[in-house]
Every structure is written in structure tokens, then in C-alpha cells.
Structure 1
């Protein structure tokens, strides 16, 4: 049914307009208590074998929604009801900003991919805090992803992140420092350890000072050289971070098939981050490198090119405790997370696995 709706309706709309309609529908679900509870009862993960603990937080399942979909933190309850074991909202900046000029979101159906150059469009940390502070009608694990306000100079980046952290860390189950989006000029330069260290130390001080101590993670780009991946991993261990999210979107276009290279203006333009299937191989490669570097001393969250239960299974075996997706939701529809949870439960039973920890990192070198 969804594929028919996608091909006949959604694919004919501008991608950002389709996204806005989807978000409005999810917000309606979030504020409709009876329907929200019915959907949650039907679709949320319930198999005890799917439960996993990471940085002191209990997740009902390992598969969650990556940052980028719910930029305003307004759909958390609806997305949790649809089956996501956690929802990472954002990226949120200290100050409201409109993002980059449209068009800024492009589908690449032949590649099962998306290119976005949104530019952290959001209403700001204060607005997100008001939404996150509301009482929730269904259980939801919420990560908050924070980034730099575009107009803030690089010299003010640390203070800008700290402002967001002070607003949002007390309301988050975990906090993510995003220094890896390609759509804010100069942001990826902050991944250099000499700049990243002071930034993470300052945000960690805020996160550590919340009433329950908010776990802190950093999200890195797939385009980092291997030695830079190692350097960030070493820094995360040195600072006592709780985990690393790998990876964000890529600025590379090499994995794309030729089918969409000649005609798509987003590909010709070569600005923006590419997500979806073409990112799969590099994301998995970075995960394996991180696992080899840090073992189980950090929680690893794998995202990039995750489409189905096979991908989730492979990431868990490679050492991820949590797995995230986003682009697959566009192409698979609202039952995507529920299907992955159901199929993962069946696979665990088939392999006689009663605790997810039994398989995490099993194939890691």
C-alpha cells in the first residue's frame, strides 16, 4: 500500500513538501491520545530479547531513528509508537535559523538515496526544550543532536554548543555533538582533535552536571581518513565520552550508479550530504574500525545505509549496540521499524538468542 502511495502521490511532490506533510500527520498522531496508544500497542517493540542497555539507558529495541527527520522535536511520541526504539531529534542549534535556500532536499530513487543540504533549519534550542519538556503519553527514548548556529563564528562555536547543551541536556536521554554535517560552512573542521577536544570538554561539563548525568556522544563523518577516525576514537576514550555515532552523510558521490548522475541537479551540484544505500559500505567499514580501536569501552551507534533486518543484524555483529536509519523510512514507509523489529525477533529466536548482548560484536576482529 505504501509503495503505491509513494509512487503515485509522494514521489510527485517536492521532497521537502512531502516531508512537511508527513511531519504534520505525525504531530497529529502525537496529540491524539487514544490513537497514539493504539498504534504504540500494535507497533512498538515488545520482545524482551530486543531490549538492550546502553550508557545506563534501557532501550526497548536496538533500532532507532537517526537525527534529521524530527528537526523540531515535535513527533517523538508518534515515531516511538511506530516502533522506533529511540528517536534522535535535531539537529538543533542554540538560535533559530531558516537553513539553506530551497530546493535543498532531493530523492535518488534508483540509488535508494537522498541528498540534503538543509542547513540545520530549526526553531532553536528554547523551542525544542519546550516541546521536550511536555509529559509524554507513550514511552519514548529521546536523543538530542546539537550543532552550531550558522551565523556564529568559529571562535564562538564552543559557547554556542554549550548554550544548546544547557537548554537540552536535562531533557535528553542522551546528547549528541554533531560536528559532521556538510551543510554548515566550517563545521566539519571541528572534527580535528585539537578543536574537538575543547568543544567536547565544555559540553561534557554541562552534560555531567545534569540531575541524572546525561550521556554524551559525538557524531562523525564517513569522509574522515582512517587515521582521523582513530584519533577521534582515542579522544573519546580520553575524555570519557559514552559513545560515538558513525556515520553522518557523505559529501562523496562515487557510490552512486550512473542512472542518476547525468540528469539530477543535486548530483551535478555536488553540494549537500548523501544518505541511504550508497553509504552502506563506508559506514560499516568505519564501525568495524571503531570497534577494533575501542572494543566495548564505548557504545557504538551505527547509521548509514541501513535498509532492512540484514543490515541491522550485520551492524550488531560488527559491534554496534544501537543501529539507526532515516532514508529507509522515506522509501519503506511508516511500518518500516515495526517490520525490522518483528524480523529481528524471529532471527533471534531462530539463533536461540535470549539476550541481544550475546551477538553484539560477535564478528568483530
Structure 2
């Protein structure tokens, strides 16, 4: 549903030329969510604006819902954008219009009749769980509710793909979970292809099927989220499920980093190391979460240095990877993205 090939973006010309995207390849299938993450300067937002053609790529191709939109003239591009819904960090609601009136804005540009507009707006507000707030103004809504109105507005033109550009940034945890649950439902129920631009790793863990790490304007790493987390050498996987700090153990004990993912790993593996193998295991830190529907865990443990071979043999039998510490450094946390341009975003929302 979204396909990007060898996309490059350069700002300026001549000696002032500044390349920011270098040959990006990206595919997002129908009914999937693909997250794009990366350290500060990864220009994730630039990629999103090139996908919805708010900015023209310097070179490369962009397909949306089977249509090559890269070089479309402006009039045809306005029509092609109907297949693209976009939700930004700020919902950019018109403050003097109610939730229902904000959702109706794209429909009025389409020339929908008043009767159909009323029906469609009611359907959309029900879909995002805001039927009872139809007559509320933005100032009367919580930040999470305003984002839900923004999502409803993005769905007004029945898009086939959805771009979420830092849509949960700044929301409280409950509002974030609510918005992500809605995105997952839209992926499943409507078969949308969703591009999720974010700097929040918990958002990727909770919502994304696959993820891409951008570094220096290039794809440094990509893959299914559960596979990335299961790979102890993956910088992105380490950032998604990071190691916790731990206290140093006394001499004579070797410290090990343990990584696993999948239902086949026994939940009592720590207990069985002692009961079945006679290993005295010291747990220094541990994190266990469900990611992409499967249990994933990281732990730091310490055992007698002389029994390392027994440890690795036992863990290998359960599909658990273990390596002696110190491990490679974790991914550098992302800084907030550059504020977006609300004027250009409002144009994109209402373009037809």
C-alpha cells in the first residue's frame, strides 16, 4: 500500500546543498503498522512529508495505494491524496468549530451533501469513541480526545493509508494507550497501511508490526519488531527492550546477559536452572514484556565463573541466548523532533 524506492531528499543547491535522506527503501503492506524511529537528526518527519508529497523528493519514487504519486501534477496529486490520511503531533483543530464540525471539514471540500455529511461524521465520531463529545469545542476536550478527533478527520475521505507523525508525542500514558489501541483497530478492521513516525520506543513496542531505524538519513536496520527484540546484537532491539541498570557482583561470579523471545521459552527457566542443573543464579536485573503478541525478555544474571559452560548449554536447550558482559552500548535516546508547520499540515488535511 505504501512503497518507497531509492528516495533521496536534498535541501539547497550547489555549495549549500544538504542531503538529508539517502536512498530510502520502504514497504508497508495492507493491514500492517510500520514504525520509523531514529536518533536526533534522522529527519523522520521529512520522510513522512515526502510520502504524502507535502515535499517533493529530490529523486526516487513513491507509490501510494498502487499509484506512483512522485511526479503527479498538483491537480492530480490533490486527488491522489484522498488515499492518504495524516495525523500530526498537534491535531490542529479549528478552535471555533465543534468536534463534529472539525471532522466535517474534508467532507465539505468533497462536496458531500448535508445529509451524507451528518451521517458520515456521526459514523466517524462513533468509530473513535467520541459520539458524546460531538458538540464540544477543542478547548473542552482532553489532548487524547483532540487526537481522536484528528484521526476521525483523517479518516473522513476513506483513506487506504494513514501517516501518524508523532501523533502520541506529549500525550499522557492513558491517552497514548487509547490512541494506539485505535490505530491497531484501524489496521485490523479497515486494513489500513500505517506509517508510524515516533521517537517513543514504548509506542513501537505496543503498536508496530515492523520497524525501521534511520541513522544519518539512511536505513540502518529494519525488521519485524519481535525479531529485532530477540536479536541481542540489534541496536534497535536493544532500544526497544533495554537492559536495566544493575549492581556489580562480588568476585568469582561471571555476569551474563540473557535475551529471549517466544512462547517456547519456559516461564520458569530461572527456577529450573537451580532445580534441574544445580546452578546458583543471582538475578541482577530483568525485564519481561509482551511484544507483537509474544513474550520477550532480557535479564542480567550472575553465576559461578567455573560453571559458564553448564549455563550456556542449559539456556541453548530452551532457545535462550546468553553472552558474558559487558555488552555493546545501547541505542542513543531520541530527542524531540523539530516542531511541525501547522499551516502546511492544515493544507494537507483539507487538500482534495
TM-score, normalised to structure 2, is 0.32
Higher relative contact order structure (alpha carbons within 8 Å, sequence separation ≥ 6): 2
Larger Rg computed on CA atoms: 2
TM-score, normalised to structure 1, is 0.32
Structure with a larger share of its residues in strand: 2
